[in-house]
Amino acid sequence: MNIRVLPLDRIGASVADEIAEVVAAKPDVLIAWTTGNTPLRTGIYRELIAREQSGAADLSSCWFVNPDEQLGIPREHEESYHAYMKRHFFDHINHPEERRFIPDGMADRPEDECERMERFIEARGGIDYQLVGLGINGHVCFIEPAPSLPARSFVTPIADVNRQLYAPLFGGRLEDVPTAAVTFGWGTVMRSRRIILVAVGREKAEIVARALRGPITTECPATVLQLHPNVEVVLDEAAAELY
Ligand code: GLP
C-alpha cells in the first residue's frame, strides 16, 4: 500500500489529476466511483468537473459504475446514490448515460441487479480504477463486517451503526433509513486494477489505523485491501493521526 498524507485542500486536485491521467491514457477506461461525504469534503468531483469543463479531461468515452445503492428508495429520492451522482457529478459533465451503471434500489429482484452489475463490468474487461471511501466500521462500498465476504455483488443488510449515521439525512427518522443495499462483492473490488482509498477527518483516525495496520479480517473489510497489489491510500493529517 502506498500511503500519502496531504492537506485536506490538496486531496481533491491530486486525485482528480490522477484520474485525468488515467483517462488520457485509456479514453474508454472503466472507473468505479464512491458516494458519501469524503468526495465532497475533499472536492474530488468538483476538481474533476473543473478539468472536464476546461477541456483538460475528456470523460465522454469513459465507462462509469457505482458499486452500491440502498434498497427501497427510488432513483429520484434525494438520498439515493443515483441522485447523489447526478447532483454532484453527472449533471456537470458531458457524459452519455448509456455508459454508466448505478444499481437500481427499486429493482424487483435485487439479486438480478447484482448480476447485471457484474456483467456490465465483465463486458468492459474489468474495473481499471476504483475510488473508495472508508466506512466508520471498516466497510468499503456496502461490504459490511461479517464472518465471511461474498465474492460477487450481493444484497446486504446495512449495519446499524451506519443506519444511525445516515438518520439525519432521512429527517432524523431511523425507521426511514434503508435497511439493505446492493453492493460489489469483495472479489469485484479486488479485481480492480488500481484502488484509491480516501479518508479524511479525525473521526476516521481509529478505523484508518485498523484498516492499514490491523490484522486482516472480514470483520473489518477494509483490512483485506492490504492484500491488493495496487492500492493508494490518501489521507489528511487528522485521519492519519493514529496509523
Ligand atoms: C457510505 C457508502 C460508501 C462510502 C462510505 C464512507 O455509506 N456506502 O461507498 O465510501 O460509506 O462514507 P463517508 O465518506 O461519508 O464517510
| 242, part of any domain | no
Determine the structural domain holding residue 12 and report its residue range. Answer: 2-235
Residue 240 lies in a domain: no
Give the pLDDT confidence score for residue 133 in this predicted structure: 98
In whole angstroms, what is the distance from residue 152 CA to residue 118 CA?
A: 7
pLDDT value at position 52?
98
Angle between helices 8-25 and 44-54 (to 10 degrees): 50
Predicted confidence (pLDDT) per residue in 91-128, tens digit: 999 999 999 999 999 999 999 999 999 999 999 999 99
Query: Are 59 and 16 a contacting pair, CB within 8 Å?
Result: no
Beta strand 68-70 with 63-65: parallel, antiparallel or unpaired? unpaired
- State the total domains in the chain: 1
* Residue 19 belongs to domain with CATH number: 3.40.50.1360
133 lines ligand 1 (CB under 6 A): yes
Whether residue 201 lies inside any domain: the answer is: yes
Residue 183 CB–ligand 1 contact under 6 Å? no
pLDDT, one tens digit per residue, over 124-142 is 999 999 999 999 999 999 9
pTM of the full predicted structure? 0.97
DSSP 70-127: ETTS-TTSTTSHHHHHHHHTGGGS---GGGEE---TT-SSHHHHHHHHHHHHHHTTS-
φ and ψ at residue 161, rounded to 5 degrees: -60, -35
Q: Using 50, 70 and 90 to split pLDDT, how confident is the model at 213?
A: very high
Q: Does the ipTM exceed 0.90? A: yes
Q: Is 146 contained in some domain? A: yes
Q: Which atom of ligand 1 is nearest to the CA of 133?
A: 10
81 in ligand 1 pocket by Cβ < 6 Å?
Answer: no
